[in-house]
Structure 1
Amino acid sequence: MTTTFDIPKTSRAAVLTKHSEPLEIREIPVPQTLEPGALLVRIEAATVCGSDLHLWDGSLGGSQALDLPVIPGHEMVGKVIAFGDGAERDTFGTPLEIGDRICFTHASCNQCDHCRFDNQPTLCTNRQYYMFTNCERPPYLVGGFAEYAYVFPNSGRVRVPDEVETSWASAASCALRTVVHSFERIGKMNPWETVVIQGAGPLGLFATALADHLGAGRIITIGAPDNRLAIAKQYGATDLVSVAEHPEPEDRITAVRDLLGGHGAEVVFEFSGARTAFTEGLGMIKEGGRYMVTGQIDGPGKEVPVRPGFITRQQLTIMGTWSGHIAEYRKALEFMKNTHGKYDFGALVPNRYRLDQATEALTRMRAQEDIKPMLVPHGTEGI
C-alpha cells in the first residue's frame, strides 16, 4: 500500500439507522490496509441524490436490498490519500497521484453475464453498492456522507479534469452520468425532432442541457418550481410547462400537444419520478416515437394502469436506464469540461452543508428548497 499521509483511525460519517429519522453522526473505522486495486479517499464533496432521499424515507426498498445501518451517498468526489497495490491509474489509464480528485462507481464483479457477455455492468448480479452496504462491517466507509471513503477494487474510477469544479463533478457522478447513459440508449438527437423532458430536478435539468448540446430542434421541459424552470430555459429549453400551472396529468398532456399543434414529440424522457409520469409520457409521444424511463423507482404504490395495445398500435420504443458505469462518468465530466462556459452548472449546487447538517440537506431537498444540496465533510470553505 502506498501513502504519504497518516491514515486516521476513524472517520466521522452521517449514518442512517432508521428510516425518516435524523442521521446519526458516528465515528467509523478507517481501513488501515487496502486490498489490491483499492483506494482510500478524503471526501471533498458529496451531493445529495434523489436516491439518497428515497433511501432515507424508506421508499427505495423495492429497488435494492438494504441492511441498516448504512452511510448514504453515492455522488461524491474524493482526493486520493492511499493506494492499494496496482491502483495507481484510473480506469482509462491516466496516472493517479496522491491528492488527485476522482469520481468512482459502484463495483461490478466483471465475471457475470451482464458484465462480460452483455456489456451492461450496471445490471451486475454481484454488484457492491455504496449507500446500500452495511457500515458496521469491513471496509466500513461505503457511502459518501463521510469524511473518508473506501474505493472498492472493482470500482471504476476517473480523474476529475482540472477545469471541472469539485461541486460540478460530484453532481455529475450520478445525475449527469445517468442522463448520459439514457441519451446513449435512446439514440441520436436530430435537429428536426422535438424532445420532451419530464422533470426539472437535477436529472431533467442536466438532460435539458445535453439535449440542447446534442442538437435537438425543440426542447419542452416540464416541472416546477419556477426557479428550476428558469434554469431549464438557460440550459436550452425552447418551451416550458409548469406543473404549478398545469396540476393535473391531462393538463400537462394537453399543454405539450398544444405546443406541437396537436401532435406528440418524437422523443420523451421521464426524469421526474412522479407516479403518474409514465402514463403522461405515453400521452405526449408521437406515433413511432421513443420513450426513455429513468426516474421511476419500484415499490408498493408505484403501479399505474397501462393499455399495452396502445404501445403496439403506436409502434413505440420504450426503454429504461438504471444508473451508469465508469464510461458514462468520464463522458459526463468531459461534457462539463467542454461546455461550462455555456451552461452554469454551479446553479444546481449553490448551497453547502456540514456533515452534521446532512438531515437538514435531505429535508430541504424533499421540500424542493434545494436542487442539489452538497455536503462538505471537512468544512464549507473553499469548495
Structure 2
Amino acid sequence: MTANFDIPATSRAAVITEFGADLEVRELPIPDLEPGALLVRIEAATVCGSDVHVWDGSLHAGGVRPIVPPVVPGHEMTGVVVSMAGDDIGYTGGGRVAMGDRIVFTQGRCGTCYHCAVAGQPNLCSHRRNYGDNCDNHPYLVGGFAEYCYVYPSSRKIKVPDDVAPEWASAGSCALRTVIAAYERLGRIEPWQTVVIQGPGPLGLFATALAKRSGAARIIVIGAPAARLELAREWGATDLISVDDAPDAETRVSTVRELTGGNGAEIVQEWSGAGSAFAEGLDMVRRGGRFLVGGQVGPHHVTIQPAKIMKNHLDIIGSMSADDSHYWKAMQFLSQAKQEFDFDRLMTTRYGLHDVTAALRGMQNLSEIKPVIDPRLLAS
C-alpha cells in the first residue's frame, strides 16, 4: 500500500557535476518507491567533513568510495515522512513508521553479507547503499541536499524525539552517532583519567561532550580555530592547545606531557582528519593507554615507528561509522542533554540549496563548524 501527501513531480537538489566545481541546482524526478521504501521531505541537512571529500574528489581518489558525478551530496539529514510503500515499516527501538513522522535513517545495508549477518558489524556491510551518491538513475534523490530524499528499504529508520531540533537530529545522525559508536569500542573512561581530543570539529566537540558526561578528570582539546576551542571549553574541556600557538607537533606533544606530569594521557582520540595527527597522537598516549582513531578518512599516508605500539603496550582502536542502535542513542542523547550542552552553538550559517558550494567551502576552510542546509531558503 502506498500513502501520499501532496507531492510534486520533481524536487530541487544541489548536484555535484564535477569534482571541486560549483554545484548546480537541478530538478530531479520524484522516484517511485520500492516495497518498504519511504520518501521524506527534508526539514534540515547538515554538512559533514566527508561531504567536502565527496565534493573535492578525495574520497574517490583515495579509494575510500567510488564517486561518479552527477551526485546529490549529503548524508546527514532529518525528514518528514510524506510517502511510504507499505504499512508495516518498523522503527529501530520499537514502533511503526507513520505519515508525518520526523525521522533520521541509516545507510542501506544488505543484511546477509558476513559483516551484517555473522560479525554483527552492519557498518562494514559489503553492499552498503550510500547517501550522497549518483543521481542519474532511479531512485535519483539519494542525498540530503535536496527538497526530498528517498529512503532505501534496507535503511533502518529512527524516530526523532519531539524536543530535538531538526538540525540537531541531522548532525546527530552522523557526527554524534559515530562518536557514540566509537566510545563503545573505546570502553570505560574512569573518573581519574585524562582524555586528549585531537580536533575540535563536530566529531571532536561531540567527543568532548561525551568525555565530560563520562566523568573524565581532565579533557585536553587540541586544534583551531579559536571559536571551536572556546565551544570545546563550554562543553567540558579543561585545557586547550591551539595549533596556532603551538604550530609544531613536538610542542603539542610536550604540552600534553607537561599537563599529565610527563606521562601522557590514558586516552587519546583522533578526530581531526589531519595527516600528521596519527603519528603525533601516538606520542601523547601514556604507556598502557588507548588510542582511538575515528577521523582518518583521507588518502594520505604517514610514517610511524611500530615499536612504539609494542613497547608502550598500546591499544589502537579504529572505529568506522555506526550501527542503527547508535543512531537511536544519539537521538536520546540530544533530547536528554540539551540543557547541559547548547547544541545550537554547533550550528553555524544556514544556506539554501543555491548556496551549498559556499557551505562546503566554509567547512573546508574551517570558517564553519556545522553549516545547515535548509531547502526552504530561496535565492534572493
TM-score, scaled relative to structure 2:
0.97
Query: Does the CA-based 8 Å contact 1:265-1:285 persist in structure 2?
Result: yes
Query: Does the CA-based 8 Å contact 2:197-2:271 persist in structure 1?
Result: yes
2:227 is paired with a residue of what secondary structure?
helix
Counterpart residue number, 1:322: 320
Residue number among 332, 335, 346 corresponding to 2:333 in the alignment: 335
Measure, in 2, the Cα distance between the counterparts of 1:291 and 1:317. 6
1:3, distance to aligned residue in structure 2 (A)? 2.3
**Residues 95-148 of structure 1: CA deviation (Å, up to 9, x unaligned):** 3222111001111100001001100001110110011x3201111110001100
Residue number among 365, 375, 378 corresponding to 2:376 in the alignment: 378
Query: Does the CA-based 8 Å contact 2:93-2:328 persist in structure 1?
Result: no
Structure 1 gap segments, 5+ residues each: none
Measure, in 1, the Cα distance between the counterparts of 2:377 and 2:358. 16
Query: Does the CA-based 8 Å contact 1:94-1:159 persist in structure 2?
Result: no
Counterpart residue number, 2:311: 313
Measure, in 2, the Cα distance between the counterparts of 1:105 and 1:165. 18
Question: Where do residues 112-261 of structure 1 align in structure 2 (5 Å cutoff)?
Answer: 112-131=113-132, 133-261=133-261
Query: Does the CA-based 8 Å contact 1:156-1:325 persist in structure 2?
Result: no
Query: Does the CA-based 8 Å contact 1:39-1:87 persist in structure 2?
Result: no
Percent identity reads 52
Once structures 1 and 2 are overlaid, which stretch shifts more, 353-362 or 83-92?
Answer: 83-92
Query: Does the CA-based 8 Å contact 1:36-1:86 persist in structure 2?
Result: no
Measure, in 2, the Cα distance between the counterparts of 1:289 and 1:339. 29
**Residues 288-312 of structure 1: CA deviation (Å, up to 9, x unaligned):** 111111111142xx11111111111
Counterpart residue number, 1:65: 66
Measure, in 1, the Cα distance between the counterparts of 2:271 and 2:168. 19
Counterpart residue number, 2:47: 48
1:4, distance to aligned residue in structure 2 (A)? 3.9
Counterpart residue number, 2:98: 97
Residue number among 348, 351, 354 corresponding to 1:350 in the alignment: 348
Counterpart residue number, 1:81: 82
**Residues 165-191 of structure 1: CA deviation (Å, up to 9, x unaligned):** 111111111111111111010001110
Measure, in 2, the Cα distance between the counterparts of 1:4 and 1:241. 53
Counterpart residue number, 2:23: 23
1:263, distance to aligned residue in structure 2 (A)? 1.1
1:350 is paired with a residue of what secondary structure?
strand
Query: Does the CA-based 8 Å contact 2:92-2:328 persist in structure 1?
Result: no
Query: Does the CA-based 8 Å contact 2:46-2:371 persist in structure 1?
Result: yes
1:367, distance to aligned residue in structure 2 (A)? 1.7
The AA in structure 1 aligned to 2:365 is: A
The AA in structure 2 aligned to 1:229 is: L
Query: Does the CA-based 8 Å contact 2:54-2:67 persist in structure 1?
Result: no
The AA in structure 1 aligned to 2:109 is: S
Counterpart residue number, 1:288: 288
Query: Does the CA-based 8 Å contact 2:264-2:285 persist in structure 1?
Result: yes
**Residues 236-261 of structure 1: CA deviation (Å, up to 9, x unaligned):** 11111111100111111111111111
Query: Does the CA-based 8 Å contact 2:14-2:356 persist in structure 1?
Result: yes
Counterpart residue number, 1:360: 358
Measure, in 1, the Cα distance between the counterparts of 2:172 and 2:298. 23
Alignment coverage as a number of residue pairs: 376
1:92, distance to aligned residue in structure 2 (A)? 2.4
Query: Does the CA-based 8 Å contact 1:69-1:136 persist in structure 2?
Result: yes
Structure 2 gap segments, 5+ residues each: none
**Residues 315-370 of structure 1: CA deviation (Å, up to 9, x unaligned):** 11101111112111111111111110010011011321111010011111112111
Once structures 1 and 2 are overlaid, which stretch shifts more, 87-96 or 316-325?
Answer: 87-96
The AA in structure 1 aligned to 2:50 is: S
Query: Does the CA-based 8 Å contact 2:198-2:223 persist in structure 1?
Result: yes
Measure, in 1, the Cα distance between the counterparts of 2:203 and 2:73. 19
Query: Does the CA-based 8 Å contact 1:108-1:155 persist in structure 2?
Result: yes
Measure, in 2, the Cα distance between the counterparts of 1:77 and 1:142. 13
2:65 is paired with a residue of what secondary structure?
coil
Query: Does the CA-based 8 Å contact 1:90-1:158 persist in structure 2?
Result: yes
Once structures 1 and 2 are overlaid, which stretch shifts more, 62-71 or 335-344?
Answer: 62-71
Measure, in 2, the Cα distance between the counterparts of 1:228 and 1:2. 45
**Residues 20-44 of structure 1: CA deviation (Å, up to 9, x unaligned):** 100111111111x311211100011
Measure, in 1, the Cα distance between the counterparts of 2:317 and 2:134. 32
Measure, in 2, the Cα distance between the counterparts of 1:217 and 1:188. 13
Measure, in 1, the Cα distance between the counterparts of 2:30 and 2:373. 20
CA 1:172–1:238: 2 relative to 1, 3 Å? same
2:175 is paired with a residue of what secondary structure?
helix
Q: Does 1:111 align with 2:112?
A: yes
Measure, in 1, the Cα distance between the counterparts of 2:4 and 2:124. 37
1:87, distance to aligned residue in structure 2 (A)? 4.8
